[in-house]
Amino acid sequence: MRPSPGRASSPYGQRAAVTPEAYEAWAGPEGTHTVQLAKGKALVTQLMDDLGLDAIVYPSGNAYSTIGSNMRLSPNTGMPAVTVPMGWVAAIGNSPAGNVNLEWLGRDFAEGPLLGLAYAFEQATHARTAPAPYGPLQ
């Protein structure tokens, strides 16, 4: 398979050269990616069952960098998640002030309770602040 014009020199050049067979081995029903997603989902669901949890809540990302982000649990398990603001951090050194968020990971097909928990947190904390050029949500 030949890469698309202009893509061979881009960061996606290797992706453009992936054959349908290689992709199927990775993402197909028996592919390594699909198998790992299923294992991750089973592991996290079992943890939630064992601890009687409706959701797992954790900080989503690093306020001063995108490196070391915690936002990997949902995409690597296929489980639903919602991120809500929890406040701001002060500037440190050359790093500007920034927002910090919480990610709420829920069970499959339980998006209603997950959104309810996130909404209740937002209503209790009012942590979201509108950016300077924008007004409040209506």
pLDDT at 3: 46
HEC profile of 3-65 = CCCCCCCCCCHHHHCCCHHHHHHHHCCCCHHHHHHHHHHHHHHHHHHHHCCCEEEEECCECCE
Determine the Cα–Cα distance for residues 92 and 109; give it in Å rounded to an integer: 41
pLDDT at 52: 97
Question: pTM for the full model?
Answer: 0.69
Structural domain boundaries of the chain? 19-125
> Using one digit for the tens of pLDDT, what is the confidence trace for 59-78?
876 665 555 566 678 888 98
Q: Which residue positions in the chain have pLDDT lower than 50?
A: 1-8
Amino acid letter for position 48:
M
Helix (H, G, I), strand (E, B) or coil at 134: coil
Determine the Cα–Cα distance for residues 57 and 63; give it in Å rounded to an integer: 17
> Using one digit for the tens of pLDDT, what is the confidence trace for 80-92?
999 898 887 777 7
pLDDT at 9: 55
